[in-house]
Structure 1
């Protein structure tokens, strides 16, 4: 329980920032037989809710109309830690640095054209920040050819494991191993962990505390 507490993201601002950075989330709805159906979706978090756009037909829409309970999850693998970082003979000690957010709430399909337009514009602003498109207006015909799914959170919890569970010496040793391994994600992982590379060595610049 002590470790789990240290892995919890306590800053709502950090959770919202993370949701703004990630491009794919997964909505979970309850199907007709009571099983969860999980679908990857583009999304935007705005006005205290998750918005997604969808074709006008589909199982997830039927699920929402029948049962509004929904989950939504977003995660990022920060860095895979191979087992030999800890023990060259024990594969079970392989690990992963990560960030994740899990939402439980209620899903609904939006009919209000102003809200639908705002959601689409929010999605465009997130995924195409350079602009070069005409904003959607409430009277636009396109709004009748798609559905907007809105998930209002009942709870929203985040977890992160980026080395904050280690003491300063162990964290520095891990950063050095990640840098030496040289994966494609090493540079971004070190930055998230609070390190910068100086003269080929990782140097801590701040304590990772979310």
Structure 2
């Protein structure tokens, strides 16, 4: 069955764009007892790597120093699809539309203050795009006082499920159900699915290809 292949994000740029639209990612490291530790973090993708700032002491820092193999994951739930969209009583028919990216890579605690300043400025540009702050430079004390974690991807894969695995009629039916249910995310989801809403009706305008 080719379903998984059809759900894979083929465009590296789409993956990067998605990463920098999302505000929370999860870094997974291995602790001293061999257990995975997963921590939610603010992050930015810059210069082909993930950067995060952190307190200079803590378990994840020690984990990375002892074992540089890490994972990183970001996801967005687009739309929950109630079971009654496809069957009046069968709960197993419930589903979710989503986007996700999973990275396997090497974790590094950055020691070079120029790279740290670059990463911290990239984080500020992402989370505070309106500005109103002084750009950081390598010589500022704050750059010394924080840790910057870098994840260099060895493998970066993304998946998206927006109805592209369905035939045209089934996709239109799904879009109509999403519009009818009218969740807070419905219209944004329909746009990602390749639909626009005209006079409260869905109209397919493109076949989304990622």
Give the drift of 1:143.
Answer: 1.1
Structure 2 residue 105 is matched with structure 1 residue 129: no
Distance in 1 of aligned mates of 2:4 and 2:59: 35
Write out per-residue CA displacement over residues 110-143 of structure 1, whole angstroms, 9 at most, x where no aligned residue: 0100000000000000011111110000100001
Distance in 2 of aligned mates of 1:13 and 1:119: 20
Structure 2 residue 47 is matched with structure 1 residue 26: no
The aligned residue for residue 138 of structure 2 is 138
SS in 1 for 2:34: coil
Structure 2 residue 149 is matched with structure 1 residue 184: no
Normalising to structure 1: TM-score of the pair?
0.99
Give the drift of 1:169.
Answer: 0.9
Give the drift of 1:52.
Answer: 0.0
Aligned length: 210
Structure 2 residue 98 is matched with structure 1 residue 98: yes
Where in structure 1 do 4 or more consecutive aligned residues deviate above 4 Å?
Answer: none
Matches within 5 A, 1:6-25: 6-25=6-25
Give the drift of 1:87.
Answer: 0.7
SS in 2 for 1:20: helix
Distance in 2 of aligned mates of 1:5 and 1:187: 26
Distance in 1 of aligned mates of 2:145 and 2:84: 53
Write out per-residue CA displacement over residues 12-71 of structure 1, whole angstroms, 9 at most, x where no aligned residue: 010001001000000000011111100000000010000000001110000001000000
The aligned residue for residue 169 of structure 1 is 169
SS in 2 for 1:183: coil
The aligned residue for residue 196 of structure 1 is 196
Distance in 2 of aligned mates of 1:117 and 1:144: 10
The aligned residue for residue 52 of structure 1 is 52
Give the drift of 1:6.
Answer: 0.3
Matches within 5 A, 1:74-113: 74-113=74-113
Give the drift of 1:145.
Answer: 1.1
CA RMSD, 1 decimal: 0.6
Distance in 1 of aligned mates of 2:43 and 2:105: 15
Distance in 2 of aligned mates of 1:66 and 1:114: 24
Give the drift of 1:88.
Answer: 1.4
Normalising to structure 2: TM-score of the pair?
0.99
Unaligned residue ranges in structure 2 (runs of 5+): none
The aligned residue for residue 64 of structure 2 is 64
Write out per-residue CA displacement over residues 90-118 of structure 1, whole angstroms, 9 at most, x where no aligned residue: 10110000000000000000010000000
The aligned residue for residue 148 of structure 1 is 148
Structure 2 residue 133 is matched with structure 1 residue 120: no
The aligned residue for residue 41 of structure 2 is 41
The aligned residue for residue 73 of structure 2 is 73
